Amino acid sequence: MSSHELGQHWHSIIVGAGAAGLFCAGSFAAPKLVLEHNALPGKKLAVTGGGKCNFTNIYVSASDYVSRQKHFCKSALSAFKPQDFIRLLEEQKIPFYEKEAGQLFAYQAKEIVSLLDKRARRQNTTFSYNTQVLSVAQDKNGFKVQTSKGIFYTENLVIATGGLSYPALGAGGFSAQAARSFNIDVVEQRPALVGLRAPEPVRTICKTLAGNSMTAQVKVGKHLQTGQLLFTHDGFSGPVILQSSLFWQEGEKIFINFLPTINVETFLKENKNSPDLFSKILSSFLPVKFTKNWLAHSDVCAANAKKESLLEAAKKINCFEFIPSGTAGFTRAEVTAGGADCAAFNPTTFEHKKISGLFFIGEALDVAGRLGGYNLHWAWASAHACAKALQKK
Ligand SMILES: Cc1cc2nc3c(=O)[nH]c(=O)nc-3n(C[C@H](O)[C@H](O)[C@H](O)COP(=O)(O)OP(=O)(O)OC[C@H]3O[C@@H](n4cnc5c(N)ncnc54)[C@H](O)[C@@H]3O)c2cc1C
């Protein structure tokens, strides 16, 4: 960074060279500076989707997102479709494939980072890496940005510093700090798309079953999801649990149906004269290792079982209820729910309703999507809307 650039009054400064910041920088032509505290762009983006980047979902809609402002994301999503991002990849001959349920993956996430980096450079972008933004404030001609490398001035300021998930990749509390410094309400931030911890004695059983997975139906409030559930050393994970965690609030009950296709009570009653244990009777539907451990003392011989034992066994399988003791935390969460309250922003431009030239995009905002490419699509769609507005300034 030259002293000239330090003294310069920029058209736009974007804080954060993650998914949203990079995409925004490449989507409008005015000269801009991107400040990033990592040594390189898109550090998180490069590991998304297990290194293959689930970059969008062809079925994306507003109902795939959780936010205090339910309708906020509609306008940006209708102005930027999955096809718009696909076109970019096709133009650059970057191959991709559909994994399941509309989830589109690249073969190498790094190809997407490189594409966005080059695209931004072609659009008048100067990057300053290893530059931590410490504070931002309004200034007489726009904004003053205090960084570890000095003070920068800009007419327009875009906060694209993401949420709290995966601090090892650069995440931190800056988005919330910046929001508060402009008197923007911050919706409580919590880890989402994350494993859930089980209380004892369930935790010990989960530990015994750790590494095993099965199809299950999980209900949190009015949200019912079916998919793979994975037992972990301290509870549950796998896609169905990650999806459910998006809707789970601390202290709330969760219901798991380990055999959604069968009414276990009816089935066990039909076999009430069998000399076999419940685990054996259910073995054509469920692995015996699971049923033996899960039912524990309720795994009794059907012919001798009291009605209460049968009902207890059926409930443990068809409607197991518990209150998670917590989540696996921000270090393991794919996304942060909560963030800067969208009510402060114009949903078409992402500009603050009262502070001209101030924009928040991506995960910095209180918008979190389901598992399956929705969060990156939000990063692209919000960045696109913001860039269109900046282009006109
Ligand atoms: C392991 C993992 C896998 C994921 N896989 C997928 C997937 O396959 N599909 C999907 O849709 N979503 C996925 N996500 C979620 C997705 O990556 C995020 O929602 C998305 O990256 C958010 O984009 P963003 O630009 O808002 O934030 P980020 O991509 O997090 O970028 C924020 C940037 O700001 C920088 N920054 C922060 N504070 C400062 C500061 N004070 N000064 C300077 N720079 C700062 C950070 O270093 C970072 O580069 C995954 C998340 C994780 C953690």
All structural domains of the chain = 3-191+330-391 (3.50.50.60), 196-327 (2.40.30.10)
Nearest to 169 by CA among 44, 37, 53, 45: 44
Q: What are the pLDDT digits (tens) for 271-323?
A: 999 999 999 999 999 999 999 999 999 999 999 999 999 999 999 999 999 99
pLDDT, tens digit (0-9, with 9 covering 90-100), for 103-151: 999 999 999 999 999 999 999 999 999 999 999 999 988 999 999 999 9
Supply the residue whose CA is at minimum distance from atom 4 of ligand 1: 48
Q: Is the CB of 372 under 6 A from ligand 1?
A: no
CB distance 283 to ligand 1 below 6 Å: no
pLDDT of the residue at 332? 96
Taking all residues of the chain, what is their mean pLDDT, rounded to a whole number? Answer: 96
Predicted confidence (pLDDT) at residue 4 exceeds the cutoff of 90: no
Dist. CA 334 → ligand 1 center (Å) = 9
Mean pLDDT, residues 42-68: 98
Spatial CB neighbours of 213, under 8 Å, sequence gap ≥ 6: 228, 229, 230, 231, 238
Does 7 score more than 80 pLDDT?
A: no
In testing the pocket of ligand 1, which one of 48, 169, 177 has its CB within 8 Å of the most ligand atoms?
Answer: 48
Asked whether residue 195 carries a pLDDT value surpassing 60, the answer given is yes
52 lines ligand 1 (CB under 6 A): no
CA 151 to ligand 1 centroid distance, Å = 25
Determine which residue's CA is closest to atom 31 belonging to ligand 1.
18
Confidence of residue 1 (pLDDT cuts 50, 70, 90): low
pLDDT attached to residue 5: 65
Question: Tens digits of per-residue pLDDT, 146-181?
Answer: 999 999 999 999 999 999 999 999 999 999 999 999
Atom of ligand 1 nearest to the CA of 165: 53
Residue 224 has pLDDT above 60, yes or no: yes
- Please give the number of the atom of ligand 1 that sits closest to the Cα of 20: 25
Please identify, by atom number, the ligand 1 atom nearest to the C-alpha of residue 333: 53
Look at residue 2 and tell me whether its pLDDT is greater than 60. Answer: no
- The span from the CA of 364 to the CA of 186, in Å, is 10
Of all protein residues, whose CA lies closest to atom 13 belonging to ligand 1? 48
Of ligand 1's listed atoms, the one at least distance from the Cα of 132 is 42
Q: Which H or E run contains 83?
A: helix 82-91
Q: What percentage of the chain has pLDDT greater than the value 70?
A: 98
pLDDT for the residue 301: 95
CA distances from 347 to 71, 233, 304, 342, 361 (A): 9, 42, 64, 8, 10
Atom of ligand 1 nearest to the CA of 43: 49
Q: If pLDDT is split at 50, 70 and 90, which confidence band does 8 have?
A: confident
pLDDT at position 101: 85
365 lines ligand 1 (CB under 6 A): no
- Position 6 pLDDT exceeds 80: no
Going by C-beta distance under 8 Å and a sequence separation of 6 or more, which residues neighbour residue 334? 165, 192, 193, 194, 242, 371, 375
pLDDT at 141: 87
pLDDT for 363 beyond 60: yes
What is the CA(165)–ligand 1 centre distance, in A?
Answer: 8
